[in-house]
Amino acid sequence: MACWVKRNKGNWPVLVLLILGLAAFACGPLAATSGGRPTAAILSPAANSSVPVNEPVRVQVQGSDADGGGVVRLDLLVDGVTVDTFESGGPQDTVTAELTFTPTVEGATSVAVVAYREDGTASDQTTIALSVVGLSPEAPTEDEGEEGEEEEPPSGEEPAPPPETTEVRAEAEAKLDVPIREQCGPGCPQIGVWKKGDTGYFYIRTTSPTEWWYWTDYLGEDQLGCVYQGQEARNFTLLEDDSVLPREPEQGCLYCGDGICTDALGEACNTCEEDCGPCCGNGVCEPEYGEACDICVPDCGECPYCGDGEVNQDSEECDGGGCGRGYSCNDDCQCEEDEPYCGDGIINQPSEMCDGGDGCWTGATCSPDCSQCLTEEP
């Protein structure tokens, strides 16, 4: 990469000195001190949180490069594909932006952000996992279960009926395609879509101070559904004042992330930790959930190892003791033959006549080098 210095007539002598003083460091060290690479962060939503399917998800991202050339672009990637981009218009030490994507399939999804300098230098990806929710379990087919039995909804209660509408209403226009749900909550089944640019009427607003939902008859007078708006105008533009609308509590629906561990939804510690808590740490070793001694010590205990004092037959011949005379337990808990020595209790011929008391007649003593029996103490 070429290096250059812009000439300034007024400061030319100073520049000459700088060039002479820094000649040995031209190009390489100056580039190296440009701050390495930018960094990127996802400020919201929180990792492992749940987001509704078929509704825009707003991701607050930030790029920083105070010691380098500055951030000029932020890319949002979902499952490895770039879905939204923000350009700052020029290098900045810190850039914060709100990027969006709309998940269309339920399940786990990865969301990442990358920050770029003007020269194309990119940060490492910062990635979080999100859980996309919104559809209830499929209804059983006619041949499932015993004849005549009716399966209860996951909650054990019948779904709440739609509210009664009144003559009071407020007109609104959709800014984008907005899912219409059976009840007011992200976990409720989708029953239709309010198309972008279409107008319709709101009749009832939920009482939540931050997550506003509206009942609407967009699908027809006999098919009420609920749409999401949020505290600030997001999915809809209100064409009439909605403060006159009656209010009612949000009903919601069960889903992973609702804070309730629901067996009927298949939720357990390994499928929905958010509601059911972590598997490891509940005091029960559960191999069916992937727990083992090398994964969850609090529940399953430590795995056997050489040095725990117990002979584990699958891989050990000994553990500390357990080997025969003349053998010792090595670091791999296998018995290995000892090197002969005077004092090992074995008469190692031809160099030894005795070893300790072995091999000598009554009243005799073995010499210190095990070479002979002595009639008197040495």
Q: Considering only 20-29, 152-161, 204-213, 283-292, which range has the smallest mean pLDDT? A: 20-29
Q: Across the chain, what does the average pLDDT equal?
A: 79
User: What confidence tier does 3 reach under pLDDT thresholds 50, 70, 90?
Assistant: very low
| 173, 203 contact by CB (below 8 A) | no
Instruction: Look at the domain 39-133 and name its fold.
Output: Immunoglobulin-like (2.60.40)
User: What confidence tier does 134 reach under pLDDT thresholds 50, 70, 90?
Assistant: low
Can you give the residue ranges of every domain in the chain? Answer: 39-133, 170-238, 263-300, 304-338, 346-378
DSSP 321: B
Picking from 41, 2, 246, the residue whose alpha carbon sits closest to that of residue 127 is 41
Picking from 166, 153, 168, the residue whose alpha carbon sits closest to that of residue 255 is 153
DSSP 358: B
Q: For residues 185 and 227, give the distance between their C-alpha atoms in angstroms, rounded to a whole number.
A: 9
| 53, 107 contact by CB (below 8 A) | no
For residue 353, the Cα-to-chain-centroid distance in whole angstroms is 71
- Burial of 59 from C-beta contacts in 10 A (0-12 / 13-18 / 19+): buried
Q: Tell me the pairing of strands 170-174 and 236-238.
A: antiparallel
pLDDT, tens only, 61-82: 999 998 888 999 999 999 888 9
pTM over 0.95: no
pLDDT, tens only, 215-248: 999 999 888 999 998 766 578 999 999 888 998 8
CATH 2.30.30.40 for domain 170-238, yes or no, is yes
| 180, 192 contact by CB (below 8 A) | yes
